[in-house]
């Protein structure tokens, strides 16, 4: 009988993380960790055909990966794989494993969202909620002990483990729904129920900025925490990936649907400027931000646009919170 299951975020490469099963998605093409796994298997002469539409497939890794086996689930087009779909993905994965691999003890997988324009906090909450649905509902692998969500960015790992624990106290899920819900307060029960499914009612903020280790604290403390997490989704695209194919289309679709668009032009990143131009063309509420040191060195084509200059993360957070509040009340920003 399924006992307690621990859910955690771990720093590392998902391909080198020991597990019984590595969980991946197939969004009509290979992307991200799925693509990396496919390429590594191919380099070892192991065939990994994609799952059929609406289906799933298992592939033995033969030691090419640290996980013994891959479960890949077909999820449809990348642009339609959002928060409700991520919750369903987590739920489907455990139900498939309960039927096909009931003795699995350790399940590993990547975060879904960073790089394709999703709010990574809402995405992780959605995935964890999907897992919890099946663990507490009794339709998860009987031997399951641990679910490891693997992320290369250490700053993001430190951010997201406490996020998981807002849904799953101490990272542990009891296999009985009543027992588990008694470990939550009323806010926790509501937060878990709304993960993923409540995203449709939130306003969307899209952030265009340099996507590197140095930007993580700025994004979290300067921008994300300026917003009410229960009222906003804070989405962004990977500046290194946004210039290609379906990922570009996914990112542009999220900009098109954004209530507010924030561009950090501290660095001359061409994809930030591409996304900024698209946001202007889509008539979004555009907020340009830059470090104070950039005040006299902005590119000529945005030099005359209203810009929020910030000294540090707290200064940016304060100004953004005030500006978005005034925009929401219909007040002018200039």
pLDDT mean values, one per 10 residues, the chain (334 residues):
84 98 94 93 95 96 98 92 95 97 97 83 95 91 96 90 90 85 82 91 92 80 91 78 61 90 91 90 94 85 87 95 82 44
pLDDT of residue 238: 59
pLDDT of residue 153: 86
Taking the CB of residue 185, how many other CB atoms lie within 10 A of it? 10
Residue 164 · residue 120 · CB < 8 Å = no
Rounded to the nearest angstrom, the gap between the alpha carbon of residue 196 and the centroid of all alpha carbons in its chain is 11
Q: Which is nearest to 216 in space by CA: 164, 158, 155, 163?
A: 155
Instruction: Enumerate helices (H) and strands (E) in the chain, giving the number of each.
Output: 10, 12
Backbone angles phi, psi at 208, to 5 degrees: -105, 120
SS3 call for 323: helix
Please state the pTM of the whole predicted model.
0.90
Chain mean pLDDT for the chain = 89
Distance, in Å, from the CA atom of 118 to the CA atom of 113, rounded to the nearest integer, reads 5
What sections of 75-145 are H helices per DSSP?
Answer: 83-100, 120-137
Rounded to the nearest angstrom, the gap between the alpha carbon of residue 161 and the centroid of all alpha carbons in its chain is 13
CA dihedral 117, 27, 163, 154 (to 10 degrees): -80
pLDDT digit string, tens, across residues 163-180: 999 899 999 998 878 888
Distance, in Å, from the CA atom of 222 to the CA atom of 99, rounded to the nearest integer, reads 45
pLDDT of residue 70: 98
């Amino acid at each position: 009988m399924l006992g307690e299951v621990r859910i955690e975020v771990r720093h590392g490469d998902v391909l080198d993380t020991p597990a019984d099963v590595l969980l991946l998605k197939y969004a009509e093409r290979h992307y991200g960790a799925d693509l990396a796994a496919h390429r590594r298997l191919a380099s070892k002469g192991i065939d990994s055909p994609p799952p059929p539409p609406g289906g799933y497939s298992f592939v033995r890794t033969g030691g090419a990966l640290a996980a013994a086996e891959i479960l890949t689930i077909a999820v449809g087009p990348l642009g339609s794989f959002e928060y409700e779909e991520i919750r369903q993905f987590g739920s489907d994965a455990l139900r498939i494993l309960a039927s096909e691999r009931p003795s699995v003890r350790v399940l590993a997988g990547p975060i879904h969202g960073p790089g394709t324009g999703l709010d990574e906090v809402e995405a992780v909450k959605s995935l964890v909620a999907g897992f919890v649905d099946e663990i507490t509902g009794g339709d998860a692998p009987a031997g399951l002990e641990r679910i490891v969500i693997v992320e290369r960015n250490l700053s993001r790992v430190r951010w997201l483990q406490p996020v998981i624990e807002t849904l799953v106290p101490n990272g542990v899920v009891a296999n009985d729904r009543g027992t588990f819900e008694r470990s939550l307060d009323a806010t926790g029960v509501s937060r878990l129920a709304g993960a993923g499914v409540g995203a449709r009612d939130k306003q969307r903020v899209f952030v265009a900025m340099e996507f590197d280790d140095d930007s993580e604290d700025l994004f979290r403390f300067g921008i994300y925490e300026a917003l009410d997490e229960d009222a906003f989704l804070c989405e962004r695209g990977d500046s290194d990936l946004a210039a290609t194919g379906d990922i570009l289309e996914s990112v542009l679709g999220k900009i098109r649907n954004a209530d507010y668009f924030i561009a950090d032009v501290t660095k001359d990143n061409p994809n930030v400027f591409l996304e900024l131009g698209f946001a202007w063309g889509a008539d979004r509420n555009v907020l340009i931000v830059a470090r104070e040191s950039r005040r006299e060195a902005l590119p000529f084509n945005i030099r005359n646009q209203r810009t929020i200059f910030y000294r540090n993360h707290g200064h940016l957070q304060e100004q953004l919170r005030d500006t978005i509040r005034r925009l929401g009340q219909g007040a002018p920003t200039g």
